[in-house]
Structure 1
């Protein structure tokens, strides 16, 4: 069957199903159920603590400069 042969209701249903499938595929977390390595978790916690203590990280401008990008 071709799209030209569908009724308006059939086309709407096809579009709705396609959109629902697309949204569902975007919402799936490929890392679900996986564990974060302890050293990565510690690095993230350390970064969070430093940020909460007011320490600033490397600016985006500095990173761009190192990568040879215009900021």
Structure 2
């Protein structure tokens, strides 16, 4: 199941980010905090958006996707 991330998911997202950084042998570079991601995802004008991939049987998160809107300076629009 894919669903929008909630504020309660932010610690899980940070854990996933750190797990990937560890796998890539770059854990010291993964310095994003729960507070930073929470602000980026859930402020009144979010910089990021996230969706969670969850196990259908248990509902447990198994992955995530983070995305953001891009702005075209040539066209002057998102």
The answer to which structure has the higher helix fraction is: 1
- Higher RCO (C-alpha under 8 Å, 6+ residues apart): 2
* TM-score after normalising by structure 2: 0.26
**TM-score (structure 1 length as normaliser):** 0.29
* Structure number with bigger Rg: 1
Q: Which has the higher strand share?
A: 2
